[in-house]
Amino acid sequence: QLSHSDIIEKEFRKTIVRDEENPYLSNDNVIYPVILENDSYHRNYNGGGKNALVDGNFGNTDFRDPYWQGYQKNNCDVIIDIGKQDDIKKISVNFLENQGSWIFLPSTVTVAFSNDGKNFSAPEIIYEKEVTENYKTEIKSFSKLVNANARYIHFVAENIGQCPPYHKGAGAPSFIFIDEIIIE
């Protein structure tokens, strides 16, 4: 019998843009989307490497799941190339919150768009909130309807940097864990 979260996860997976059976293949034999720069993740929590955030794989509530990409103290700051200029209607992203393991939600998540990969639009906020005490282990999904026509997406999830004063690790480097950026 499927649990409520299994059903939600199954339905959520249907919205993935990257279809491994029918990906967008360019003239240079690159399967899109790809992440152009992504090297600030923690080596022990690499999620599968540079393109892990757009590979269609989702993590579960265990932070040791190999699909989570973890950033200790660093922001997740990536540029995604979707391969060609196209209409973008929605951006969604999943984060793991497990404060007992020093994994917090980001303070802010933004996206910006470009056709040349250099000149980006003003950032649009997907999520912004101060950290609050929460010792439940949860996957949090955030999304934003957008109206963009672009090839490149600049995605930034800001790490709070340090565990907050209420936390047993107050002042120590904090993590953000992200498993997928969904582009529709």
Residue 141's beta-bridge partner residues?
A: 94
Is the model's pLDDT at 89 over the cut of 50?
yes
pLDDT tens for 16-72 read 344 555 455 455 656 789 998 788 999 999 999 999 999 999 999 999 999 999 999
4 pLDDT band, cuts 50/70/90, is very low
pLDDT tens for 116-173 read 999 999 999 999 999 999 999 999 999 999 999 999 999 999 999 999 999 999 999 9
**Residue 133 to residue 156: CA distance in whole angstroms:** 23
Range of the domain at 136: 4-183
Residue 124's beta-bridge partner residues?
A: 111
**What CATH number has the domain bearing residue 127?**
2.60.120.260
14 pLDDT band, cuts 50/70/90, is very low
Spatial CB neighbours of 26, under 8 Å, sequence gap ≥ 6: 32, 83, 84
Q: How many domains does the chain have?
A: 1
